[in-house]
Amino acid sequence: MSAVRVKICGITCVEDALAAAHAGADAIGLVFYRKSPRSVSIPQAKRIISALPPFVTTVGLFVDASRCEIDETLDALPLDLLQFHGEETAADCARYRRPYMKALRMKPGEDIAARCQEYASANAILLDTYVQGVPGGTGQAFDWAQIPQGLSRPIVLAGGLGIENVADAIARVRPYAVDVSGGVESTKGIKDHEKVRAFVDAVRRG
């Protein structure tokens, strides 16, 4: 099995971005959703991206954003990957002609295999915990046994991951990547650098 990639999401400042990069994270997530306590402005995001060393993927997270809003963000920032966390259709996601991943929340009875086929143009599918009215960042894990085997798209596992459970999650799910935000924070939007290092180390050992 190839190495599992690590994305540290909800980065809001240069110091946290550099801590993630130096810990060995493969990607950082920048949240462009104003209702989130981890949201960033375009100027904030520009400072963060400019400070990053090479070979760290920058991911822009959107939740049912308007086309105008996304175009404005893409005109200003060199994002490597888009992450759609709302009710966007495959056509909505693909229209920007950028690599993207689609987040699916694990609702009871959700046919994940069919949803992966629906988003066949996605570079990956991110699986997150379903909490009504909350598009992500719940800090709660879901039952990993719900994930079927042999899905058609690479899987990024999110939802309630932390230092104490990520190795077990990797062993059970065997995802392409794992995504953490709240599990490595001191407060919402501020990362605990020691937790970031410990999380990346736990993934590498897993």
Q: Which residues are designated catalytic?
A: 9, 128
3-state SS, residue 57: strand
CB 59 within 8 A of CB 84: no
CB 98 within 8 A of CB 121: no
Please name which of 205, 200, 201, 167 lies closest in space to residue 25, comparing C-alpha atoms: 200
Q: Tally Cβ neighbours within 10 Å of residue 113.
A: 15
CA atoms of 64 and 60, how far apart (whole Å): 13
CA atoms of 82 and 74, how far apart (whole Å): 10
CA atoms of 190 and 186, how far apart (whole Å): 6
3-state SS, residue 172: helix
